[in-house]
Structures are given as structure tokens and as C-alpha cells.
Amino acid sequence: MSDTLVESSAESAFLDLHKKLLEQGRPALVELQEAALNRFELLGFPHSKHEMYTFVNIKGLVATSFSLPDGGVNVSEDFVAGHIYPDCERQCLVFVDGVFNRGLSRFEGVSANLVSLSEADQELKDYLSKTAENENDVFAALSTAFCSEGLVFKVDDNTQISGTVQVLFVSTGRSVGPAMHAPRLVWQLGKLAEVKVIEKFVGTEGGYFINSVQDWLLAEGAGVSFTQVQVDSFDSWHFSKTRVHLNRNARFYSSNASSGTQLARHHYEVWLKEEGSELRLNGVSVLDGKEQVHNFIRIHHEAPQCISHQHFKNVVNGHARSSFDGTVIVNEGAQLTNSDQLINNLMLSNDCHANNKPNLMIFADDVKCTHGVTIGQIDEDQWFYLQTRGLSAKSSKELLTRSFAQSIIQTIEFPEVVEELNGTLLKKLEATNV
Amino acid sequence: MLEIKDLHASVEGNEILKGISLSIKKGEIHAVMGPNGSGKSTLAKILSGHPSYEPTGGEILLEGKNLFDMDAEERSLSGIFMGFQYPVEVPGVNNAEFLRMAFNARRVCAGEEEMDPLDFDELLSEKMKMLKMENKYKERSLNDGFSGGEKKKNEILQMAILEPKLAILDETDSGLDIDALRIVAEGVNSLRNENNALILITHYQRLLDYIKPDFVHVMHNGLIVKSGDKALAHELEAQGYDWVTAEN
Ligand SMILES: Nc1ncnc2c1ncn2[C@@H]1O[C@H](COP(=O)(O)OP(=O)(O)OP(=O)(O)O)[C@@H](O)[C@H]1O
Ligand SMILES: [Mg+2]
């Protein structure tokens, strides 16, 4: 608590809100909630110089008085259908205001893979309570304290889920007091299991706080392709924590495309626990107006011969803000680690901001690690070159900006997502540039 | 077609061009030679509208229109093309797509319809064949990782697609081996007609064996110090620049 400078009233507002939650009946995950709530009280909201929130101003968020989601909101099937990718119609899990909605979901093919978190086996429950007790991020603790029920997606040993699984998080805005939505997902992959997942975050209107937590537990040789598309309403808050545990030879390939909100923050924490595991973490954001996206990343290399690769690109315009705070920790014994981290920012206005804190902590002696940051404007020589071929100043700039963002977008393996991002994320540039 | 009258120009406050006059008519080829640093590329950049190069005196008229009233895009659309001495690498911008955009920008400017992508691809293939460029250069990023010679060929490919009225080729021959030089020169020659004109900036007589100039100008210290016909290029080749520059 000593770390806390924000008036403790902010915390007590959430504690009061939690009491209201309990008045509605005993939650399915009451013990987990309590552990998380204790952790939340202990951590408290971060003061402005807290090392995990150096670049993120949460004052407005914690000063907001939130209500509980009412659960009775109507989201139409048409709205949902408009956000399901073509190949995912048969396996799509829909969360509305943080709660899994069976009616809107389609999961014939994968119903055997789904378990409610409250019915998870003891081993998983032990993992979750230990994680809640040791949570280091106060917003993740808050999310767990409020998660009503969670979902476990389990893939057995030697099983490959065919096609792509989509998860759609729909948030609805509210006329009376914004609500916090706390979806909770655990992905559990057995030996040599594989799954491809696209997650999309959308809002029907603004004024909500989506605060999600996910755990990915990959057994030996398991493989995941994970794409996230964040297109929430601008006047929402979007926080996410993604925890990844990789055992021997497991692979986790992740791409995140964010269009930002008034405050969006993605926290990734990854453990490469056994030899031969591999992480690829890519991100692209295109921000304008007062949009923000902040990435906070901790990668723990705990075993030899593991690979981690990160590449983030931000296009920042208007008064937008982006930040990247990433540390790769190579523990003693993690020999022959191969790790790189690259952040490129393209600044299109004088009033935008990009803060970067890449960091390496190396406790092994035989490793290959690199990191780098670039912050730049449009390259004048390139810009001029295109104009001498008859392209206007405006369209030359758009072309250069697109090509900057596209090198990440093109790493996404789902053509329908790439196409959508070309249409939406990059469209934003056309409207506002020059 | 082009009238340059007493042109003065500066870059970063230093006067580089100190009073250049040159008149170019349709169908003509002018070679511009001269020692390193004499201002040849500066002249080319002033013609193409580079924002860092500032005209400080004189005027340039393109078909009677004041060139200084036009930005780089308008100059290009009016038919000026500069082949860069050092073509710029643009990673992430697809070569073929870029060429199509540039081609269509010109069509739209002329009040014509954009060309169908498949038709354009055919046109592009044909021009690439003429320059003996492999198809893979369509899919590569614009000049990204190209060798010096490949970049120069790619400049001529752009010229072939855009069919400019006035092309200024700044040392297009440097970095080309003799076979590539021949191919490029044949390409340039095939684009010539009585309505367009060419300025060739070069250090080597060799290029002028393939593309025969009507006039040869020698630049020194921001001025044209001698003009003549193609015999002048041979004299320069044999004797170097000293005898010309010493006179001034
Ligand atoms: N961007 C610039 N900034 C500063 N000085 C410049 C710049 N561009 C050209 N100059 C100077 O202007 C003078 C003429 O340069 P320019 O490139 O026009 O010569 P050139 O005749 O093309 O030479 P070369 O044969 O080596 O290509 C040189 O002294 C050069 O240093
Ligand atoms: Mg030069």
C-alpha cells in the first residue's frame, strides 16, 4: 500500500463495487475472486512513477465510478455476424460484456474442448489461485476479482484443431455509469497440440472498461498462432494481460493490431521454461486524435536454446500516444538464447508521442540478444522520389505510411484479417494525413 | 521546350549554380559533362523540384510555363522525368504497384481512365522484356536491396512507363557494365521521338557512343564553361577537363 499515491478512495470504490457483486449471489469463482481482491488491495493503484505504468496515465480511469455489467443487454446476431471472419462461422466464441454468451456462440466442432473455469481440474485451479496470489499487475488482479465465470479451451495431446477459432469480445456502452467487463480465458494445450485463434475486440458504443486476462499453457511441442484485432470504441478503456507458459519445443506466434482507445494497454508476460521453445510477438498500431496504445512486455528466458522475437510498429498522428516498455530477462543457465526486440515508430505530427523503454537483463554468458528502437518521420528523400514520379505529396505520404505498417500486417497468416486491417486501420491514415 | 535563363541556385545557403543558361528544343539530346562537384546533379534536382534546392535567380520555362510555380508532382505530370544518380530505396512499396500508381496518375491528369491492372501488367512485362529485366523485379520493393546497376535499369523502366517529354538522366551509365549499358541505351533510344528531349549527365564518352548527343556542355563551378557538338566529348575523353576549366 505504501506505493500508492492515488487517494485510496479509488480502491475503495472498487471494493464497494465488489460488495455489490457479492450481493447478487455467490460467484462461481468466489475463492479465486477473493484471492485476487486481496492482491488488488495489497498492490493498490500505481502512482504516476510506478515502474509498470511509467508512460500510462490512469488518473481518469481510476477516478471513474463504475457499475456492474447488467448482463441483460441485447446484442443482435447481425451485429455479431458482421464481426465473424469468413472461416470462423462454425467455431466462434462470443463474450458479451465480459461474459461468455452461449446463444451467440457457435462451437459444434469444439464443444468438447470447452470447460467452465469453475469446473476446471484441481491442477488448473491450483495454478490459477497461485497466479492470483502472486499477480504483479493491479489491473489484472482487479479483472480476476470481478470475473464472473471463465472459460477453459482445452486441446488434448496430439490434437490439432482444424480451421481457425475466433473469440469475439463485444462490449456495450451504457447510458448510466460505465461498467467494467472482465472476461477470463485459459488455453490449455497438450503435447503436440495445435490451435489457431483470432480474437477481436469491438464495442457497440463507447463508455466501457474491458479488462481481460488470459493464460496460455503450452505443453511440449504445442503450437499456437494467435492474432488479436483491437477495434474498441474510442471512448472506452481497454486493458489486457496475456500470460504465456512455454514448455519444451512449444511455439507461440502472436500478432496484435490495435487502433487504440482513449487508453489501451496490453501486458504480455511470457516464460520460455524449457529448451527449444519459441515466441514471436508482433504488434502494429495506427493511432490518431487522442488515441493511445501502451505495450508492457516481460519475457523470461529460463532454459537454453530458446528464441524470442518481438517487432512492434506504431504509426502515431494527431495528439496520439504510444509506448513500449519491454524487458527480456535471460536467466542464468539460459545459454544460447536468441532474442531480438525491435520497435519502430513513425511520427506524423508534432503533437504525438512515442515513449520506448526496451531493456535486456542477461545473466547467461553465451547468448545472442539485440534490441533497438527507431523514431522517425516520413523519409524526405523517399517522399520526394515518389513525387517526382507524379504522385501527390498526400498520396506519397500515405503510400510510405502504409508500407511502414504493412510489414507487420503482412505477417498475419489470415488473409481475411489482413484485408480487414488494410481497409480499416490504414483507412484511418487516408482520412487524416497531410 | 525548355528555356533555362541565368539560373542561380543554392543549397543550405551556399550558391551552387551561378548563372546557367540553356535552351533545349524538341527532339534534341544534350549531354552535360564536368568534373565532380561542378553542379550537374544540382541542376537536375532544381529541374525536378527538390525542396532542399532553392532557385535564387533567373527562370526556367517549360513550354512557356514557369517551372518554379510547379511542385515536383506537377512537373512530373507535365512530362519532366529525372533518372536519379542515386535512386532511393523504398522498402515495403511494391515495384509493380508503384509503377501502376505513377502510370495512372499521369493518365488521370490527362483526363484519361486508369488502366486495367491486367493490361498494365502486360505493358509492364513488355517494357521489362525490352530492358531484359526478370519478372521477379515486379514483386520486389522499390529499389530495395537492388544493386547499383539494377537500380539504374529500374529508373529507365520508370521512364519507359511514363514516357516523359523531357528526361534528365543523371549518371544513369555509372555502375552499369558494358552489356547493361547497351541494353539501357537501346531502351532509351527506343523511347526517342521528334517530340521529346533528353539531358544526359555523364562522365563518360562511352555512353555517347550509344546515345548520340546533338550538343555537349561542360559544367565547372556552377557554370556552363563550354558548349559544342559531340566532338567535344571526344576531346574531353582524350584530354580531361583541365584545358576547358583552366580557360575560365
Ligand atoms: N544537399 C547538399 N548539401 C550541401 N551541399 C551540397 C548538397 N548537394 C550538393 N552540394 C554541393 O554542391 C556542389 C555541386 O554538387 P553536385 O552534386 O551538383 O555535383 P555534380 O556535378 O553532380 O558532381 P558528381 O559528378 O560528383 O555527381 C558540391 O560542392 C556539393 O558538395
Ligand atoms: Mg552528380
Contact residues of A toward B, CB < 8 A: 380-382, 384-393, 395, 399-400, 402-404, 406-407
Please give the Cα distance from A88 to A237 (Å, whole number). Answer: 27
Q: Distance between CA atoms of B103 and B120, rounded to whole angstroms?
A: 9
Distance CA B204, CA B156 (A): 18
Compute, in angstroms, the gap from residue B221 CA to the centroid of ligand 2. 13
Measured CA to CA, the distance from residue A275 to residue A334 in angstroms comes to 9
Residues of chain A in contact with residue B48, where contact means CB-CB under 8 angstroms, are: 388
Please give the average per-residue pLDDT across B151-155, as a whole number. Answer: 95
Q: How far apart are CA A212 and CA A100, in angstroms?
A: 12
Does B131 have pLDDT greater than 80? yes
B189 CA from centroid of ligand 1 (Å):
28
Ligand 2 centroid to residue B200 C-alpha, Å? 11
Burial code of A425-434, b = ≥16 C-beta within 10 A, e = fewer? bbebbeeebe
The pLDDT assigned to A423 comes to 83
Segments making up each domain of chain B, as ranges:
2-245
In this predicted structure, what is the pLDDT of residue A1? 42
Residues forming beta bridges with residue B90, ordered by sequence position: B142
How far apart are the CA of A76 and the nearest CA of chain B, in angstroms?
40
**Calpha distance B65→B79 (Å, rounded):** 12
Ligand 1 atom nearest B85 alpha carbon: 27
What is the predicted ipTM? 0.95
- Gap from A382 CA to chain B (nearest CA, Å): 6
User: Is the pLDDT assigned to residue B36 strictly greater than 70?
Assistant: yes
DSSP percent split of chain A into helix, strand, coil, nearest 5: 25, 35, 35
* Ligand 1 neighbourhood includes B12 CB (under 6 angstroms): yes
Q: Where are the beta strands (DSSP E) in A204-236?
A: 209-218, 223-231
Task: Provide the pLDDT for residue A74.
Answer: 80
Does the CB of B11 have a partner CB in chain A at under 8 Å? no
Nearest alpha carbon, ligand 1 atom 16: B39
Q: Answer yes or no: pTM beyond 0.90.
A: no
Task: Name chain B contacts of A397, Cβ cutoff 8 Å.
Answer: none
Task: Answer yes or no: is the C-beta of B193 below 6 A from any ligand 1 atom.
Answer: no
Q: Which residue has the higher pLDDT, A108 or B102?
A: B102
Query: pLDDT tens per residue, chain A (434 residues)?
Result: 444 444 578 899 999 999 999 998 888 899 999 999 999 999 999 987 888 998 999 999 999 989 888 766 789 999 999 999 998 999 999 999 999 999 999 998 899 999 999 999 999 999 999 999 999 999 999 999 999 889 999 999 999 999 999 999 999 987 677 999 999 999 999 999 999 999 999 999 888 999 999 999 999 999 999 999 999 999 999 999 999 999 999 999 999 999 999 999 999 999 999 999 999 999 999 999 999 999 999 999 999 999 999 999 999 999 999 999 999 999 999 999 999 999 999 999 999 999 999 999 999 999 999 999 999 999 999 999 999 999 999 889 989 998 899 889 988 999 999 999 988 877 777 665 54
| pLDDT band, residue B248 (cuts 50/70/90) | low
Q: Which amino acid is at B248?
A: N
Residues in CB range of B242: below 8 A, 6 or more apart: none
Nearest ligand for residue B54 CA: 1
Of the listed ligands, the closest to the CA of B169 is: 2
Q: Is the CB of B100 under 6 A from ligand 1?
A: no
Q: Measure A52 CA to ligand 2 centroid, in angstroms.
A: 52
* pLDDT tens digits for range B82-96: 999 999 999 989 999
Contact A54, A325 (CB under 8 A): yes
Give the pLDDT band (50/70/90) at residue B238. Answer: confident
Say what the pLDDT of residue A2 is: 44
Share of chain B above pLDDT 90, in %: 85
Contact residues, chain A, for B52 at CB < 8 Å: 380
* Residue nearest atom 25 of ligand 1, based on CA coordinates: B36
Contact B31, B233 (CB under 8 A): yes
Tell me if B160 sits within 8 A of B186, measured CB to CB.
no
Q: How far apart are CA A135 and CA A326, in angstroms?
A: 18
The domain made up of B2-245 has a fold known as Rossmann fold (3.40.50)
Cell of B91: 522498402
B-chain residue closest to A385, CA distance: B88
Our answer on whether the CB atom of B69 is closer than 6 Å to any ligand 1 atom is no
Whether chain A has a CB inside 8 Å of the CB on B109: the answer is yes
Q: Which residues of A touch B77 (CB under 8 A)?
A: 390
Q: Is there a contact between A387 and B105 if contact means CB atoms under 8 Å apart?
A: no
Cell digits of residue B191: 523511347
pLDDT of residue A431: 61
User: Which residue's CA is minimally distant from atom 7 of ligand 1?
Assistant: B11
From ligand 1's centre to the CA of B38, what distance in Å?
Answer: 7
| Ligand 1 touching residue B91 (CB < 6 A) | no
Residue nearest to atom 18 of ligand 1 (CA): B39
